[in-house]
Amino acid sequence: MVTLYKPEDFKIVLETALLAANDPMPLAELKKLFDQEFDDDTWRTLLDDLRRDWANRGVELVQLATGWRFQTRPEYQAFLDRLKNEKPARYSRAVMETLAIIAYRQPVTRGDIEDIRGVAVSPNILKTLEARGWIDTVGHRDAPGRPALHATTRKFLDDLALRSLSELPPLTEIEKVMDLAELPTTPAEAEALPEQADRPAEEQVDDRQQADAFPAAPDAA
């Protein structure tokens, strides 16, 4: 086993663990790497130094809602997209509007969403967002029928490379949230996507109404 003496040695271990991880690593997990105990300032210094070490590379170290991870810098994502075989999912405008309402007004019920959008919301829309891991049921409103309250998840923040909801762009820049429209789906998630024929007429959209193509969220390293 390597003996650690200098801050540089600890950074190498952190770098190795973060590059090998499939998911963001919270600080509690990173602390398990070492026998030594560090105060919060020391951890911040180590991670900030490591982030600066990668400042001029195509991969960057970022802090997300669920922890730290290396990911592709957005400006290089377009090149990596050429290597992908799967076709990015294209969610309808109705799906993306519903996601935006939940993100900015959460927690909300399906009825709240319908009041804001002015049309009925198909249950399949909520199922699509749940299958993607972007929303979840967080409770029930104390009202007749006890309707479910929906809110966004930490995965939603991670996929947008955000640490908290306070970092969401202003509603006037909602197009940035629409970046999610081009994230690839897994086969299971694809099955959850409602077919046009299964949607109510007010939820059906043609290709021109679908969310416009935007660069995908950065890939994890």
The residues spanned by each domain of the chain are 7-81, 93-209
Give the rounded distance of the alpha carbon of 64 from its chain centre: 9
Q: Are 57 and 47 in contact (CB under 8 A)?
A: no
Q: Please report, as a single letter, which amino acid is at residue 63.
A: Q
- C-alpha–C-alpha distance, residues 205 and 134, integer Å: 22
One digit per residue, pLDDT tens: the chain, 221 residues? Answer: 666 668 788 999 999 999 999 999 999 999 999 988 888 889 999 999 999 999 999 999 999 999 999 999 989 888 888 887 776 667 888 898 899 999 999 999 999 999 988 899 999 999 999 999 999 999 999 999 999 999 999 999 988 888 889 888 877 666 555 554 444 444 444 444 444 334 443 333 333 333 332 334 566 66
The reply to whether domains 7-81 and 93-209 share a CATH topology is yes
pTM of the model: 0.60
- Residue range 7-81 forms a domain whose CATH class is mainly alpha
Residue 150 near residue 136 (C-beta atoms within 8 A): yes
* CA distance between the termini of the chain: 26
Distance CA 142, CA 48 (A): 45
- 93-209 placed in CATH 1.10.10.10: yes
